[in-house]
Amino acid sequence: MLDVQSLSKAYGRKQILKNLSFSVKPGEVIGLVGENGAGKSTLLHILATLSNPTSGTVMLNNHSYQTSIKKIRKRIGFVSQDIALWEEFTVKENMIFFEKLSWNDKTNEELRQLCSDMKLNKWNDTVKNLSGGMKRKLNIAVSLIHDPDLLLLDEPTAGIDLKSRKEIGSYLSSLAKAQDKMIIYTSHDMDEIMQVCDRIYCIGDDPFYHEVLESYGKNPELL
């Protein structure tokens, strides 16, 4: 379980996050929505241990971010908005390269199956020749090599076709349920958020997203 209590983040006098408290249970996909600049990426960076909060506490499976950072990093997968892959490598070469950096050993067959599960059947294709959707799938596959408990995704389907978005969303939803993973997912696509996420948190003061989600019949939780 991920438990966040009274989390705040400020840069000088600029308050980005103020007193956020929420939790995520195993098997849940949580949507995070809000206007640009509301603090969605900042929150994900804190949860990914890439940034420290100004105040507040974060616990992952009863381990504190303050005292058990090494253990926690082994249990987190993070996918940023930018695609972080070796363009000149094949899909296979990328997966093998990142497996060598991982805490978990995986066979080539296991790595290939992970890609296949995501409908990424381009094992021997060079990344630079892949479509945007295939690159996004590979970016997510790389983050799952070490079998994290918590997967953080910052706009993982930005700029790709509808078919790839639906395939990624369906995969993530199934993954959370089948393996009890906790997934936090940001997107500006409300249809996508509605289809993929079990619960939705609105971050920031703009009431727009709250009103839009209510129009879909969904009651978001305010942070």
Question: How many Å from the N-terminal Cα to the C-terminal Cα in the chain?
Answer: 18
**What's the confidence (pLDDT) of residue 140?**
97
pLDDT band at 218 (very low <50, low <70, confident <90, very high): low
Q: Hey, what are 45's tokens? A: 């960076």
CA nearest to 142, candidates 109, 114, 168: 114
CA nearest to 84, candidates 169, 182, 156, 159: 156
The string of pLDDT tens digits covering residues 56-84 is 999 999 999 999 999 999 999 999 988 89
**What's the confidence (pLDDT) of residue 222?**
74
**What's the confidence (pLDDT) of residue 212?**
72
**What's the confidence (pLDDT) of residue 104?**
86
Q: Is the pLDDT of residue 123 over 90?
A: yes
3-state DSSP call for residue 29?
strand
State the pTM of this model. 0.93
CA nearest to 203, candidates 3, 8, 57: 8
CA distance 138 to 93: 11
Q: Is the pLDDT of residue 21 over 80?
A: yes
pLDDT band at 216 (very low <50, low <70, confident <90, very high): low
pLDDT band at 188 (very low <50, low <70, confident <90, very high): confident
Residue 64 buriedness (CB in 10 A; 0-12 / 13-18 / 19+): middle
**What's the confidence (pLDDT) of residue 48?**
97
* 2-84+148-222 is classed CATH 2.30.110.10: no
Q: Hey, what are 78's tokens? A: 């993070």
The domain ranges of the chain are: 2-84+148-222
pLDDT band at 22 (very low <50, low <70, confident <90, very high): very high
Q: Is the pLDDT of residue 36 over 90?
A: no
